[in-house]
Chain A
Amino acid sequence: MSISRADIEKVAVLARIKVDDEQVSALEKDLGNILDLVDQLSAADTDLVEPMAHPLDAVQRLRPDVVTETDQRAAFQAIAPATEDGLYLVPRVIE
């Protein structure tokens, strides 16, 4: 199955990855080949098969509601690209 340039551009926006025209052309070929590989799936008869999200048939443990974390803002913000007054800074968000 092939993937169109428009599809690639749309998915790139969803994934927040900038792509230029040349890259779209390369991706058209590469993603097309990958999707061809993946299309083998359509041959499988899976009518009565339950989807499998996890290898193990286990159920979720729940954690007691107890505070276990302390303030480590200084350590975390030491590795941040931009902070001020304890806040992470990003280019202006327009709602």
Chain B
Amino acid sequence: MHNKSVAELSRELESGKISSVELAQQFLDRLKLEDGKYNSFITISEEQAMVEAKAADDMRAAGKATAWTGIPFAHKDIFCTNGVRTTCGSKMLENFVPPYDATVTEKFKQAGAVCLGKTNMDEFAMGSSTESSYFGATTNPWGASSAVNRVPGGSSGGSAAAVAARLVPAATGTDTGGSIRQPAALCGITGLKPTYGRVSRYGMIAFASSLDQGGAMTRTAEDAALMLNVMAGFDPKDSTCIDREVPDYTATLNEPLKGLKIGLPKEYFSEQLSPAMEQQVRSAVREYEKLGATVKEVSLPNAKLAIAAYYVIAPAEASANLSRFDGVRYGYRCEDPKDLMDMYTRTRAEGFGNEVKRRILVGSYALSAGYFDAYYLKAQKVRRLIQQDFITAFKEVDVLMSPVSPSPAFVQGEKNTDPVSMYLEDVFTIAINLAGIPAMSVPAGFVDGLPVGLQIIGDYFSEARLLNAAHQFQQVTDWHQREPQ
């Protein structure tokens, strides 16, 4: 069962060959047995999962089953789950059990899905390797040997590793600068970051509010479509969530791609990309040509400024978003504070890891008196230029295609010492978040036995077209079905 997709499991449950309770138990048993190798979960919520599985069987018996009823899956540990510990990968929230659900969590519950637990992540989603988790690094199921372990990417590395290792068929992720797409690419799975505002952020612990977006991590594009069907939609609790009709994303998966206009941003095929990686991406694009698509080169002249703009805007927003972790109402508080200042400064020094502290400090600095215009305001202007580049490109082409990451999964510890080298992991993904447009990562080959992802970027609210393009690619390739040994 563990090799089946969500769509396949849904049919198994529908046919009555297996019950939700049986399926949940099988997955939980395997998860408990296997995850020691990957550390892809922070919390396995077996008890709640079995309650949900029983409820799913009841739902089916009552004739109210959806495509998700009884499907086991996992949430990135950034989505608040009522009654189940939600840590955001941080010591700060080591014992935080929220008495409320994120809107995304609620939607999966309503659909009857069975959440097996919470996946590992970079602390507060700040990272590209899932090494900054307080609960230990996650290991990529690909490329592990007795000598080295490789990172699964990040920050949604736990979700990516769990889906790649067949521990769950699907998991939620969040993407602020590449945190769904880059781990999806490094773990050889399919990842979708929707348009900003497509999925509610309520109850999704904020890193950078104007960039964060929840999305899908699955093995197939079809499953990603099924997942977005549940996640997308207006939420009156999120002021930035858009009130716009949600199509059935599975309905258009089989549209032919003939005439699809693909643009290749020349800035994304630069010297930062290794020749081997480039070869894989270009051969994937050739598959699209075989399917009837046309290809032309386009330019995103301001793309090179994306990392700089991002590393002002994201830390600035984060510096304020993370001020609520002050030891007063919930979460970690230092031992025996001698006064209020001591409580604040030690709680935050001890509760946050180094990367989180670095970003809070950078963000505070960028917003502080005398620097606001040079950093924050300037970055917001550059953000507009980057957005304009995409708007211009989409006047000429339907989708853009590019690599997801400059290189395949790197060895654990390799980029830990220099924050900037880690930041450059997101060089091809970050501009998409600044513009707020949707993008996917689709398995597109291997380099040295490690998965390579193809990034498909679309205009605002073009998720259906991206999923269609990814699905058609997956009908003629089998990269997404390769299993790590």
Contacts and interface: CB of A to CB of B under 8 A. Distances in A.
Interface of A: 3, 7-8, 10-19, 27, 30-31, 33-44, 46, 49-56, 58, 60-61, 63, 72, 75-76, 78-82, 88, 90-94
A38 B366 CA distance: 10
B269 interface: no
Contacts of B337: 91
Interface string B358-380: 10111011101000001101111
B387 interface: yes
Given A41-B382, A92-B339, 17 more contacts: A11-B364, A14-B364, A14-B368, A15-B348, A15-B360, A17-B348, A33-B419, A35-B362, A35-B365, A44-B378, A55-B387, A55-B436, A75-B99, A79-B95, A81-B328, A81-B333, A91-B342
A30 B417 CA distance: 9
Contacts of A76: 99, 329-330
Determine the interface band of chain B, counting residues with CB < 8 A from chain A: 35 or more
Contacts of A43: 305
A58 B241 CA distance: 10
A44 B382 CA distance: 7
Q: Which of B98, B307, B361 has the most CB of A within 10 A?
A: B361
Contact of A56 (B95, B329, B423, B460): B460
B312 interface: yes
A82 B333 contact: yes
Contacts of B462: none
A41 B375 contact: yes
The 4 closest A-B pairs by CB, nearest first: A55-B436, A51-B380, A46-B381, A18-B345
Nearest to A56: B197
A60 B239 contact: yes
14 contacts: A7-B365, A11-B365, A16-B345, A17-B349, A18-B348, A34-B362, A36-B420, A38-B312, A52-B380, A54-B240, A81-B331, A88-B329, A90-B328, A91-B342
Interface in B81-130: 95-99
A49 B342 CA distance: 43
Contacts, number: 177
B385 interface: yes
Contacts of B437: 55
A19 to B, nearest CB: 7
A44 B381 contact: yes
B357 interface: yes
B136 interface: no
B439 to A, nearest CB: 13
A31 B365 contact: yes
B374 A12 contact: no
B362 to A, nearest CB: 5
Given A60-B239, A79-B97, A91-B339, A52 B384 contact: yes
Nearest to A82: B333
Contact of B364 (A15, A40, A72, A92): A15
A50 B385 contact: no
Contacts of B311: 34, 37-38
B394 interface: no
B361 A41 contact: no
A43 B382 CA distance: 10
Nearest to B359: A34
A51 B383 CA distance: 7
Contact of B378 (A8, A42, A72): A42
A41 B379 contact: yes
Given A44-B305, A44-B378, A54 B99 contact: no
A45 to B, nearest CB: 9
Contacts of B383: 51-52
A39 B239 CA distance: 32
Interface string B300-316: 00101101110110000
A16 B460 contact: no
B345 A54 contact: no
Nearest to B302: A44
Q: Which of A10, A38, A72 has the most CB of B within 10 A?
A: A38
Contact of B319 (A15, A56, A75): A15
Contacts of B436: 54-56
Q: Which of A52, A53, A54, A93 has the most CB of B within 10 A?
A: A52
B365 A37 contact: no
Contacts of A16: 323, 326, 341, 344-345, 348
A72 to B, nearest CB: 7
B292 interface: no
B473 interface: no
B437 to A, nearest CB: 8
Q: Which of A15, A19, A41, A76 has the most CB of B within 10 A?
A: A15
B27 interface: no
A14 B312 CA distance: 17
B340 interface: yes
A79 B330 contact: yes
A91 B338 contact: yes
Contacts of A46: 378, 381-382, 384-385
Nearest to B333: A81
